[in-house]
Structures are given as C-alpha cells and as structure tokens.
Amino acid sequence: MAEAGNNPSCQKLNSGKDDTYCLCVHPSGVLYSGHDSCYISWKDGKRIEKVPLGGTVTCISSSAVDDNFLAVAVDNVVAVYDRRYTSKPVQEFQFNQEEINQTVLNEKGNFLAACDDSGEIKIIDLESNKLYKTLTKHHTNICSSVQFRPTKPSELITGALDCTVIRWDYTKNQPLDKISMQLGEHDSYSINPPMVHAVSIASHGNVFTCGLGNGSVAIYKILGKNITKLACMKKLHQVCCSHLQYAQFAAGKGDCVLSGGNDGKVLLFQVTEKEPLQPAVKKPGTAKTASKGKSKRKSPQTEISAEPMVDIDVSLCLQHGSKVNWIASHPEQSHVYVADQTQYISVYHLQL
C-alpha cells in the first residue's frame, strides 16, 4: 500500500455537542454521527439533519442491501429508521436490558446483533421483527464489540472487558472458541489489563483484529475449526486502543487496519502474512530412564518459532490529540472519519 502522506488535510465538522460517540458512513456517502440526545447526518462536509432523541446514541448501523435502512442504538433500544422519513422510527426493539455498545448487520441484512453492558448479545430477526437468540452466560463483563463473520453466515465474534474474545455459532447459541487475552504476552496484573475494546474482521472473514485496553493490538487467523494468533503488537498505542476498523478504502489491497486510542493517535497499518517456514526438527536422541537404567529413543521434536507470523507496516501515524471514540471509512473515499471527546468530527483526506 502506498504511503498515506505525513500531513493529510483535515476537515472539522462542528456538531455543537460535547462528544461524538459513534460514526457510520452510509454506502451513499452520507455520514451519521451519534451524540447525547440526537444523531446528525452530514453530506459533503455540511450538516443535513439533526434528529432529536431521548437518550445517548452509542452506535449507528446501515445496511448493504437496503439503502433506506438505518439502525440507531439509543441507550438499551434499537430504533430502526427509514432514511427518507426520520420524524419517527418505523420499528423499535427493546430486547437488551442494559446500554448497547455496538450493533451490526450481517451480509444479507436480515439479522442484527446488539451487544450490551450485561455481557449479552441479542440477535434480532429483521424479517419477522422478533428476537432470534440471546447469547449469554459466557462473557462476565461488558460486551464491547460484536461482528458478524463475512462468508460464514452462522458465525459472529464478540469481545468484552473480561479480556476474552468468543467465536460463536449464533444459530445454535454455542461458543466455538474462547480466547483469553490474559495469556501469553499480556500481563494479567498490569495497571491497564488487556480488556477487549474493539474487534474488526477482514472482508474475507479469515482474519480479525482486537484493540486492547493495554494499548496492544492482537491479530488472529481462523483456519477451519482453529484460531491461530498471528501477532500481538505491544503498546501500538501508549494506552487503551479504543476503536479499530479494517479500512474500507483499502479492500482488495491487503488487510489494512485503522486504529485509534486514548493516547490521541490514529494509525493506519497493513498486515501481511509471512510465508510459513518449515519447522526445524531435532534429530532423535537417547535418554536414560532413571528407574530402570534403560535407554529410550525419543520421538522427533518440533521447534516452534516465537517470531510473529505477519509483517506490520505502519504507513500513517496521526497525532489527533484527543481520545478517540470511533473510527470509520468508506470504500470509495480515501477518508478517515474520527469521533472523539470534543464537539468536532475530524475528516482526514488521505493521499493514497
């Protein structure tokens, strides 16, 4: 991927609110931003509409198959809007018991997942407007992120502040894998434990990336029934990696990830898998058995390399300056949209 440039131009959109909690870039190019008591739509850097609401907007999701669909998470409610008529929602779902942290639609647009502070994930059937499944009793803390797995319509991945990531078959209400971030490189006794604040999955569905509370970014690959850790980039951010997303404008150019942190940095990095090395095999040897005084022939042992299985190329590091709440991008625009704890939404125009 080409260098993004050291000093991309930045446009500031004034929301007039203290915080922007979330962003959604609609396929049409309209930007939606979520705030306390409203959401705002933007087009070509100008505010189109401000829709008042009775709570905090924590996530906004659009559909790839229905241009007029918009799901807005307000506290513990998912409000569905027709983008053409925003005076009131066409449907409201109040299945979550606590505040929703993220909503996401599957590829076909017929299921919506909403994860919340209780650790539960609600799967809503949008065709019947009914609750399909509740995924529960596996996360023991706030479920911060949920993502349907592309190319695998029965699977989704969740991350939580209990420092775990779970891969689910949501049609069976069954975890397929559970990964603890407190094992391996992560220090379970650190001041900033590796809580999972964000999960994003590459468009091919085989690699996913996690943003952690200790500033690290962990990358995993799904191969059949197994999950393999490709790399853990320690302290990519000085403190919590609060949000990340596979860059939509880089689809087809490799796996490129945008990440933002509480350190006020915004990064763009490319993840490239290395060619697998042939493992070194030790020659068979002999060993004495103390109890019987006899020798036994050992079976060959494989030396496992501790080297990361990917190359990481950081092509952009922006000193954004404020804690990042959300990052978004669009397939046809080389723009990075950043929401933070100020009244401004930043739009960085990259030169790729």
Q: Give me the average pLDDT of each 10-residue run along the chain (352 residues).
A: 67 94 96 97 96 97 96 98 96 98 97 98 98 97 97 96 97 96 61 92 95 95 90 91 94 85 96 67 46 40 50 91 96 94 96 75
Tell me: the pLDDT tens digits for 24-77? 999 999 999 999 999 999 999 999 999 999 999 999 999 999 999 999 999 999
Give the DSSP H/E element, type plus range, for residue 208.
strand 207-212
CA torsion 66-26-123-138 (nearest 10°) is 160
DSSP state of 283: P
Q: Which residues on adjacent β-strands are paired with residue 165? A: 159, 179
C-beta separation of 23 from 60 below 8 A: yes
What's the rounded Cα separation, in Å, for the pair 151 and 74?
A: 29
pLDDT at residue 6 in the model: 62
CATH topology of domain 9-276+305-349: Methylamine Dehydrogenase; Chain H (2.130.10)
**This model's pTM is above 0.95:** no
Which residue in 88, 100, 120, 96 sits closest to 60, CA to CA?
100
Q: How far is CA 274 from CA 157, 184, 256, in A?
A: 24, 21, 15
End-to-end CA distance of the chain: 8
Which residue in 45, 73, 70, 69 sits closest to 57, CA to CA?
73
For the chain, which residues make up each domain, given as ranges? 9-276+305-349
Both tokens of 319, joined, read 């000193």
C-beta separation of 59 from 39 below 8 A: no
State whether residue 299 is helix, strand or coil: coil
pLDDT at residue 271 in the model: 87
How would you label 225-238 residue by residue, b for 16+ Cβ within 10 Å and e otherwise? eebeebbbbeebbe
C-beta separation of 20 from 325 below 8 A: yes
Which residue in 91, 90, 20, 12 sits closest to 50, CA to CA?
20
